[in-house]
Amino acid sequence: MANVIITGAGRGIGLELARTHAERGDRVFALVRDTAKSEDLTALADGSNGAVSVHKLDAADLAGIPAAAAAVPCDSVDVLYNVAGVTGPISGELEGDTDWDAWDLAIDVMLKAPFAITKAFLPKMGEGSKVINFSSQLAASTWPYGGFYVYVATKAGLVALTRSMAIDLKDRGISLISLHPGWVKTDMGGPDADITTEESVAGITALTDRLTVEDSGGFFKWNGEPHPL
């Protein structure tokens, strides 16, 4: 049985990760910004016989992350999924106004928070622990479209940040990777996306299972294949 931490666990991929790991017999600590608005996660926890517990952690509240992480009642962390994200402005910023508040929120949630959350749980990690940072195919130089400026910037920055952290933690036996979860049918991905949350999570958990420190620092697709940078 593994101790699994999941941010952004209230819906979409995060919720499916919680369900999948619970079904596998793992102990899931599900972190959400607003516990009162996470009805599906609460229902999962209520029916899990203690396998899933719900805890408040707001990825946008950087100052509050250490205390929120300390309140999670686990002695060790085997897997940390940094899933929480926001879209940010999509297009039109070159011609129109730039919403800098939305930029700041995106940078806090998708770049600073994965670092701060990993740092907060690091004392509970050891040899064999794994950190999965959710990036995107938009982070790659092969992405052929414009727009999504702050989303692209934060997700590309997360790939580089993960690589750098992996170098510093390799001697401790801790593996960190960045991940493109696929274009998934979620509230963010929309109904026309390529794959379901179940398909994405099946691939992600299989990849997580086989990760070693030799993979650490890599950028991977949801199906386990290396993603081009």
How far apart CA 126 and CA 162 sit, in angstroms, is: 17
* 179 phi/psi in degrees, rounded to 5: -140, 135
> Do residues 222 and 204 touch, judged by C-beta distance below 8 A?
yes
What amino acid positions are annotated as catalytic residues? Answer: 151
Quickly tell me which residue has 């079904």 as its tokens.
23
Q: Is 182 left (phi over 0), alpha (psi -120 to 50) or beta?
A: left
Token pair for 183: 């274009």
Q: What is the 8-class DSSP label of residue 93?
A: T
